[in-house]
Structure 1
Amino acid sequence: MATSTYLRARSDEQKEDRRRHLLDTAKLLLLEVPDVHDLGINELARCAQMTKSNVYRYFESSEAVLLTVLVEEFKIWHTELRAALSRETRRRGTIEHIARAFSATLAARPLLCRLVSVFPSLLERNVSAERMVGFKHGLLGIRKETALDFHNCMPSISACAFEKFIHQALPLLIGLWPLSNPAKIAAEVVARPDLAALRYDFQHDLEAGLLMLLRGRFSE
């Protein structure tokens, strides 16, 4: 795709349009590339039909783009989680309902899971302290809102206690996603019947792990 000659955005509205265009382009590219490491500024600029220097006006690195996409994905997921928690089921208001809603809504957003799985090792590099502070505050806000949603679903457990649960659940998510989605050769190897015990099923194993955390923290 040829790079067009973009006129420099002048107004705040034009700047936000360019920023939005870059993020939407990045999301489309992430659906195509097998590895988030493959998304670079050069490829993003080419597909967005912008010059590399124009991209740098909005994001200082590809990691900064991915962090912004990650926060947006978390916000979308949180809306979906809240809807799942509010659905009428016979288990509503139980830790089983929370674990099921938590794991099912995450499994439904593979891009979110992919980005979460690499953010401690990759995405938290090559970004400014200012952007990192904004990213961390965004995550903290979503965590607090999610903990409150869990508390509203199960009032016998405080929002503060649910915040601690989410804090412990995040490493489980980070580790399970790559284990459940191994590289091609590794996937072929664990497909052997004699190695079945080494396979991971993301949604099933995440739900089981979350239940273990919940029961360990809140069961009498």
Structure 2
Amino acid sequence: MEFKRARNEEQRTERRRQILATAAAMLTETPVAKLSLNELSRRIGLAKSNVLRYFESREAVLLELLDSEFQEWTAELESTAPADDGTPRERGDRLAQLLAASMAGRPVLCDLLSAQAAVLEHNISTEVAIRHKHAARQNMRTLTGLVRRHLPELDAEGASALVETALLMAMAAWPCSRPAEALRAAYASDPALAAMRMDFTEVVRRTVEAAASGLLVRRGWDAAGHGL
């Protein structure tokens, strides 16, 4: 791909979009840890120094991509109408399944989330950090609002706690559910060890179910939907 120098804001915006799209495509082939700025530059046909005209670092590229992936995920979730039948606990269980399955269907999002604190939020400027955290704050608000539509029995604090639980478990479970080749071979060779392999969707679903049930009880709702 050959690029000419971007000479106005529209062209610069398009160049940034192309860089992000290329990074997103690369992440369908390779994990975050192996995506290098050199390879990204080669894929888009730009010198590394020219990529750095648009993003200050590899991490800045990936943080913006994380924000975009998160927005697409919440938009997908918002298109799913919340069920109004069943007890609060039953609706909480359905919400847990929805969150777990939808995240499992977005491996790029999960990979970026799992690398966020330890990798992506390093090697960035304060300006990039502020922009990213404002976007993350808005994404969290959107997701908290969605949880409250599915579980109106939870107040804003409870819904926010459920969102935090789901995301933290996803961040921890994703890399554990993607074992290295040696571990995959070990699991395949011994049924007793195979039982230790983590199923991402299942562990996130169970954790969110338990958290939702606990939060409902702490806010005065029993399993049948009666106030305590």
What is the rounded CA distance, in whole Å, between the counterparts of 1:208 and 1:177 in structure 2?
Answer: 15
For 2:160, the equivalent position in structure 1 comes to 163
Task: Rate the CA distance shift 1:64–1:92 in 2: closer, same or farther, 3 A.
Answer: farther
For 1:32, the equivalent position in structure 2 comes to 29
What is the rounded CA distance, in whole Å, between the counterparts of 1:214 and 1:88 in structure 2?
Answer: 16
What is the rounded CA distance, in whole Å, between the counterparts of 2:104 and 2:51 in structure 1?
Answer: 31
- Could you say what secondary structure the match of 2:195 adopts? helix
For 2:226, the equivalent position in structure 1 comes to none
What is the rounded CA distance, in whole Å, between the counterparts of 1:11 and 1:92 in structure 2?
Answer: 56
Q: How far did 1:88 drift?
A: 5.2
Q: Deviations over 1:5-44 (max 9, x none)?
A: x3321211100010001001111111122x3122222111
Task: Rate the CA distance shift 1:92–1:129 in 2: closer, same or farther, 3 A.
Answer: farther
Match for 1:117 among 114, 117, 138? 114
What is the rounded CA distance, in whole Å, between the counterparts of 1:199 and 1:125 in structure 2?
Answer: 30
Q: Does the alignment pair 1:15 with 2:4?
A: no
Structure 2: where are the runs of 5+ without partners? 223-228
Q: Deviations over 1:174-196 (max 9, x none)?
A: 11111111111112212320113
Q: Deviations over 1:48-81 (max 9, x none)?
A: 0112221111111111111111111101111112
Contact 1:150 1:159 in 2 (8 A): no
For 2:199, the equivalent position in structure 1 comes to 201
C-alpha RMSD of the superposition: 1.8
Q: Deviations over 1:149-185 (max 9, x none)?
A: 1112222211232112212332211111111111111
Quick one: which amino acid aligns to residue 126 of structure 2? A
For 2:225, the equivalent position in structure 1 comes to none
For 1:174, the equivalent position in structure 2 comes to 171
Structure scoring higher RCO (CA < 8 A, sep ≥ 6) equals: 2
Structure 1: where are the runs of 5+ without partners? none
Q: How far did 1:83 drift?
A: 2.2
What is the rounded CA distance, in whole Å, between the counterparts of 1:61 and 1:52 in structure 2?
Answer: 10
Match for 2:216 among 205, 215, 218? 218
1:61-140 equivalent positions in 2, closer than 5 A: 61-84=57-80, 86=81, 94-140=91-137
For 2:141, the equivalent position in structure 1 comes to 144
Q: How far did 1:47 drift?
A: 0.7
Contact 1:117 1:173 in 2 (8 A): yes
Contact 1:91 1:97 in 2 (8 A): no
Quick one: which amino acid aligns to residue 71 of structure 1? D
TM-score, scaled relative to structure 1: 0.91
Q: How far did 1:45 drift?
A: 1.2
* Greater mean alpha carbon deviation, residues 90-99 or residues 158-167: 90-99
What is the rounded CA distance, in whole Å, between the counterparts of 1:63 and 1:91 in structure 2?
Answer: 44
Contact 1:176 1:200 in 2 (8 A): yes
